[in-house]
Chain A
Amino acid sequence: EEPATGLPGFRTWRGVYLFVLTVFVACVILLKAFELAFS
């Protein structure tokens, strides 16, 4: 001493990862908006 994603609308894994990162950024923006709406 790459498999197919099998997800409709996602042809590559890169697309899946990009989608996850987009959702994360959207979450941060929504959290900030939520904070500002009630402050």
Chain B
Amino acid sequence: MSALDYVVLLATILGIAGYGAWHTRHRSDMAAYWKGVGKTRWTVIGLSVMATQASAITFLSTPGQGYDGGLRFVQNYFGLPLALIIVAAIFLPLYRRLNVYTAYEFLGKRFDGRARLLGAALFLLQRGLQAGITIYAPAIVLTTVMGWRLDLTIICTGLVVIAYTVSGGSDAVSVTQKYQIGVIFAGMLAAATILILRLPDTLSMGDALRVAGGFNKLDAVDFRFDLSERYNVWSGIIGGVFLSLSYFGTDQSQVQRYLTGPSLRESRLGLMFNALFKIPMQFGILLLGVLLFVFYQFEPAPVYFNATAWEQAKINGAAEQLSEFESEYATAHSERSESIRTWLEAERVGDMATAEAAHSSAIAAHERSQAIRADAIAALRQTNERAKVEDYDYVFITFVLGFLPHGLIGLLIAVFFAAAFSSLAAELSALGETTNVDFYRFVFRRDASERHYVTSSRWLTIFWGMIAIGFALFANQQENLIEAINIVGSLFYGVVLGMFCVAFFIKYVEGWAVFWGAVVSQALIFVMFFSGFFDFSYLYYNMIGCVGCVALSIALQFAVNRRQMRSGV
């Protein structure tokens, strides 16, 4: 990073944060603080929903996923359009008609206070911990490659976001997200342009895609029905609908985004904007990763993309062994590169037999280099147990730092920070609002002034910001905890969605039945997951949690109604 990069980085991220705080500085009543002043257009709502969902790790890791697994991760989003249509048609009109601040307030109006507090508590537990991961995940990657101090990066990121979120509430989040997503799109487009320009002159775009297809990197749609397969059309549509429905319909960090709309129409169009553009956006980011794979067929690629961990292992006594792996890998890489050139040239002149043989030779060289890489990573982990087997988080950032001109490097680092800011701000804002509306105002202090609730909201947002910073600092000591929370967090979604489904569609079920239905089905999900007996994609747990909660609620209500009828009550 040069001085120019630092100027671009700081001017971009602090400029947007400062503008957001200044633009929304006069918010003194609850409605303005949490729902904005009623001027948010559907375009801003749409971008805001998109920016909340896309965190920094989306832009750091997704190109790496494309590099490794090709386009198939795009299937993860196949349930999203249908889920957003259901939210726009059913959830949204009811939230607006009842004029609720939070989704859990709706549960209170439909059932009782107990169901409301359970829904809100599950959200706070899950989202409160994940806010820490939103800071930690990009910070660990960026500090590793940039040589910055991890603790200072985490604290500075958290404090900047807390400052503008506390200042302007939900409106500040929307205003800043509009510009942050602009920076993100500009940066990613610039990186993609540079990447395409840096491909070999003799390689056309068609050739590049043929190389990617030859290594199965363009396999995007898998229609085979296999419960254990993580990404296929069926897990994407069935599991994805439940996951997206729960995330967009019941997670306050998203509900708050579209409730800022001045009318039902604006909120709906904001959601439809995402239903149309989310899959193409993810496709674009994954395709960038696939083109990175092609790029590194012709450029020397590192054995392990986390160069800092690699060099550290050399210092710790594995230098000779790792250098040997490097030379073996370089040999396999140049064989593969030569085979690819022969394959493309033979195809150009119509010599299909030579093309076929060269393609097979390229595949064999690729498999050999993958085996060398696996051995090298195993050797690396003997000197450093914390080194991860997968290094794909570092693929895109390695390209950015190695091949982009100064100025653009600063812009791309700003992209990662802008994405982290936009997600974290939405999370903190939703956590502060839910704690204030569903706990403080509902349980402890019912008749205070508007100004009092805005002040308490600000303090609660600061509280959750500090929790997120503290957890991110603690997470550095507990790597496995991060993965555990990411997994466990997604296990809550199905049951919460089940509570809302009962609220919307099953009129005769009462609050006590849905409360116990949710508690029992959540326990069942944990038993199923941790027993290890069930080998299916994590996406299906959302469906099981939702269906289980609905079925149990109905069964409990039915059993009690029947007993009351028999005893003549």
Contacts and interface: CB of A to CB of B under 8 A. Distances in A.
Interface of A: 1, 3-7, 13, 16-17, 20-21, 23-24, 27-28, 31-32, 34-35, 37-39
8 contacts: A3-B265, A4-B265, A13-B268, A21-B82, A24-B81, A24-B82, A31-B220, A34-B220
Contacts of A34: 218, 220
For the complex of A and B, the 9 pairs showing the least CB-CB separation, nearest first, are A38-B213, A31-B220, A24-B81, A32-B221, A3-B265, A38-B209, A17-B85, A20-B275, A39-B213
A34 B268 CA distance: 31
B220 A35 contact: yes
Contacts of A16: 268, 272
B265 A5 contact: yes
B283 interface: yes
B268 A31 contact: no
B233 to A, nearest CB: 7
A7 B221 CA distance: 32
Interface string B210-235: 10110010111100000000000100
Given A17-B89, A20-B276, A35 B213 contact: yes
A34 B456 CA distance: 53
Nearest to B280: A27
B111 to A, nearest CB: 8
Contacts of A20: 81, 84-85, 272, 275-276
Contact of B85 (A3, A21, A31, A39): A21
Contact of A32 (B89, B116, B212, B220): B220
Contacts of A38: 209-210, 212-213, 218
A3 B268 CA distance: 10
Nearest to A24: B81
Nearest to B277: A23
Contacts of B279: 24, 27
B409 interface: no
Interface in B47-85: 71, 74, 78, 81-82, 84-85
Interface of B: 71, 74, 78, 81-82, 84-85, 88-89, 108-109, 112-113, 116, 209-210, 212-213, 216, 218-221, 233, 263-265, 268-269, 272, 275-276, 279-280, 283
Nearest to A3: B265
A13 B209 CA distance: 39
Given A1-B109, A23-B276, A28-B78, A13 B89 contact: yes
Given A3-B265, A21-B82, A31 B272 contact: no
A24 B82 CA distance: 9
A29 to B, nearest CB: 9
Contacts of A1: 108-109, 112-113, 116
A31 B81 contact: no
Nearest to B81: A24
A13 B89 CA distance: 8
Nearest to A27: B279
A24 B244 CA distance: 15
B210 A31 contact: no
Contacts of B74: 31
A30 B269 CA distance: 25
Contacts of B213: 35, 37-39
A17 B92 CA distance: 14
A32 to B, nearest CB: 5
A8 to B, nearest CB: 13
Nearest to B265: A3
A5 to B, nearest CB: 7
Contacts of A28: 78, 221, 233
A27 B108 CA distance: 39
Contacts of B272: 16, 20
A1 B276 CA distance: 38
Contacts of A7: 269
Contacts of B84: 20
Interface centre among B88, B212, B221 (most CB of A within 10 A): B221
Nearest to A16: B272
A28 B81 CA distance: 12
